[in-house]
Amino acid sequence: MKEIEKAYEAKKYEDDIYEKWENSGVFTPKIDEKKESFTVSMPPPNATGTLHLGHATMLAIEDIMVRYKRMQGLSALWLPGTDHAGIATQNRVEKNLLEKGITRHDLGREKFLDEVYKFVEGSRNTIRKQIRKMGASCDWTRERYTLDEGLSKAVREIFVRMYNDDLIYRGNRIVNWCPRCSSTLADDEVDYKDKIEKLYWIKYGPFSVATTRPETILGDTAVAVNPKDKRYKEMIGKKYMIPGVLGDFEIQVVADEAVDIEFGTGAIKVTPAHSFADFEIAQRNNLPMKSVIDESGKMKENCGKYAGMTTLECREEIVKDMEKMGFLEKVEDFNHNLSVCYRCKTTVEPLVSRQWFIAVDKPAIEENGKKKSLKEKAIEVVKNGDIEIVPEKFNKTYFHWMENLHDWCISRQIWFGHQIPVWYCMDCEELNVATETPEKCKCGSHNLKQDEDTLDTWFSSGLWTFSTLGWPEKTKDLEYFHPTGVLETGYDILFFWIARMIIMTTYAMHEVPFKNVYLHGLIRTRDGKKMSKSSPETCIDPLDMIEQYGTDALRLSFVIGGTPGNDLRLYEEKIAGYRNFVNKIWNASRFSLMNVSDEDLATEFDPKKHIISRADKWILTKLQYLIKDVTDDMENFRYSEAGMKNYNFTWCELCDWYVEISKGKHLNPVVLIYVLKNILKLLHPFVPFVTEVLWSNLNEKKMLIEESWPKFNKDLLFDKEVEEMEILHQIISDIRSVRAQYSVEPAKKIMAVIYAGKYTKFLEEKIEPLKRMARIENIDIMEKGEKIEKAVCIFVSDIEIYLPLNELVDTEKEKSRLNKEKENLENFKKSLSAKLDNKSFVGNAPKELIENEKKRLAETEKSLEQINSQLADL
């Protein structure tokens, strides 16, 4: 008889168990050509602070994947790491310095970067501890960082290769510019905010044009019309002088298919330097550009009296001046999609800037004598099934984004990150692109200066699956563990990261980075609202929940109820509910272990010797179907369904039925332990800590994390016995329901008469658990008999069960109680009906309130039906 603590206290065990796992080396897979490999590259958390719910969800799901594959016998590598997160980290450190009254410019680049490195090291240590807290069984011996020496080498190598292949170029193009971050942003780093703004209609020489940004008129160089628009046919190609707030300026009229004939007057002003659409029109029509907004978001010196104003200040002043000068025709409200920086939410300024780009449309990847562009290849590998996205609905989103992808701007005007490996010769102006700092220029000059910009964070993280395994060296790890098995992450970074990984890997490795993409949803509040740092009351801190409820309960709350690509609602009561389930696992195991001997634990289960009862056959059959179904779910990324099936089996089949039936003389210790061992294995990927603690009490040589996944055994299916046991359960459940309906006290034992037909012998054999579990004192089981008056009758299959009412309740007392309750319900129904018949109430009350009152009326009517039925029985 094992002595196990009465209650499971998670924090008493979790840290010690994790240390035991890590020290054992089980997280570190060996290269074994006889084994299939399975790799997950952990999406690297930003090196800016603490674990949030998105990370915690990712860690829970990925750990389930990895533990499952490890138990299946694969060489399962889960490679951890952190991302330097250039803009985010630099902003964080700058903010910390500003609190001391210091700017990065006060320190200079070198000293500022020292401050960043100190901050990052502290943050990375915090993140490591938090990842361990989640029970993540990742290989810490292979941990990487996007700025470590090996990955920095990989970044420089791929930059040089792409430059030599004419895929990386430097040019003047319009970019998204954040005045606050003082840096460019990629298209997918721009968020959009719905805002009601003003649409200004302006008299524009012979035209009438509309704009939400009248300040950009100072940079106009053309008017564009649709070539099919007959109104402007004679004007196309001509130049006009337009009266403006700073005097007359010249524009050219151009024809362009992008102009919508139906919008407004069909003529649009063109500001090539400050609008993406206008830049494209200018490129197609060879128009000049005039830049009027600088990188701080202020009007330039060429803007006359408006110079130095912010764009909003300039807009206000220009509108006043246009009104005075008679140029303003009308102003309307306009629903506008405002572009803002994804990091700091500052309004983004489209600016023409000299930046580094990756050409995504240039033919580059040669296959079968034909060259494909980076974009074409990235689309192809998803279309042909080399990469499968789960859920499939995101394929459409991915294709739409990829098909509309423009050249990727990869340079950033920040100090922290991978400095662009380009050196400019100060004597001959030659560009020197190299993986290491060149000693001298091709011209012989030593006067070289490195490009001050850094690379987009997504450039380095785009190499994550292969650079972390040793590329550009041809390492054994790279050969064995790549391509990876699954990339698991939130659907919100499908474009940020996943698409870039596919682009970079298909170019560098000529293979896909991963075979599957599993996208989890966002975590939302109980009401479906987004959790926000600005509303702390809506946020849940995963570490607080671990402290209070244990890691296993938190992990279950992320998985059960969540499906790929759909958002998940999370609240504290849900986590507390799964803590109760963890306790249920503990209690069932504790009962089992307290009722078996060491000899029982050492006995190997033999079906021919150890199966004794129908209950044994029933639980073994249920277990086999569970193994089959859960394995199928795990193979097909249905983790919520697998978790729920484990939950239901453990709570219902094992605890509520088999453990209860197994009490006393019905106990079969060998079968009980066999079932317990298998359910602990099935539960382990989901709740690793509590299952490992319990496993340590089973006298096994290996830890549970090292055990094999259970296999379906068709020889342990007993469908006939299952049918009989299901009938027994239904009888007990229905009797319990009647007891509850009539408010029979739990301790009170009642009488029952059962006409069992062909099940008579079976129920006679099961009379002890039937009496015990249904709380019956005397029971008569016969093949058939007459209907019994004044008794509640229950039908289960062909079985009739009679429960005499005088055994259940004091008839007169119960009639009195029910009549009183009926009177109250009838009065309530009358009042609800009157309210819903009132036209004034129905006409003025909110729709939700009316629906709620209708629902209450329906519930009241149902309760009245039940009471009338009970009164009729009495």
| Rounded Cα gap, residues 73 and 58, in angstroms | 23
What pLDDT sits at residue 346? Answer: 87
**Which whole number is the average pLDDT over 37-54?**
86
Nearest to 61, CA basis, from 78, 49, 46, 74: 78
| Predicted confidence (pLDDT) at residue 676 exceeds the cutoff of 70 | yes
Return the pLDDT at 87.
81
% residues pLDDT > 70 (the chain): 98
217 touches 325 (CB < 8 A) = no
Q: What is the pLDDT of residue 743?
A: 81
Confidence (pLDDT) at 95? 85
Nearest to 139 by CA among 38, 265, 251, 225: 38
Overall average pLDDT of the 584-589 stretch? 92
Q: For residue 362, count other CB atoms closer than 10 A to its CB.
A: 15
β-pair partners for 821: none
pTM, rounded to two decimals: 0.83
Closest CA to 769 of 654, 659, 672: 659
Whether the pLDDT of residue 716 is over 70: the answer is yes
pLDDT digits (tens, 9 = 90+) for 529-580: 877 655 655 678 889 999 999 999 999 999 998 888 888 889 899 999 999 9
Structure tokens at 42: 């952990």
pLDDT (0 to 100) of residue 312? 94
Q: Within 10 A of 126 (CB to CB), how many other CB atoms are there?
A: 14
29, 75 contact by CB (below 8 A): yes
Sign of CA dihedral 823, 825, 828, 834: negative
CA distance 529 to 402: 30
Q: Which pLDDT band holds residue 526 (cuts at 50, 70, 90)? A: confident
The residue to which tokens 């099936």 are assigned = 645
**Where is 182: in which H helix or E strand?**
none
pLDDT digits (tens, 9 = 90+) for 267-319: 999 999 999 899 999 999 999 999 999 999 999 999 999 999 999 999 999 99
pLDDT at 1: 56
Mean pLDDT of 673-685: 97
What is the distance between the alpha carbons of residues 488 and 477, in angstroms, rounded to a whole number?
Answer: 21
How remote is the C-alpha of 735 from its chain's centroid?
A: 44
The pLDDT assigned to 532 comes to 62
pLDDT, tens digit, 9 for 90 and up, residues 817-831: 778 878 888 888 888
Q: Is the pLDDT of residue 78 over 90?
A: yes
pLDDT digit string, tens, across residues 746-757: 888 889 999 999
pLDDT higher for 341 or 475?
475
| Per-residue pLDDT band at 369 (split at 50, 70, 90) | confident
pLDDT at position 525 is 85
pLDDT at residue 487 above 70? yes
Q: Determine the Cα–Cα distance for residues 627 and 312; give it in Å rounded to an integer.
A: 64
Contact criterion met (CB below 8 Å) for 556 and 578: yes
Which has more confidence, 68 or 370? Answer: 68
Q: What is the pLDDT of residue 744?
A: 83
Largest CA distance in the chain: 113
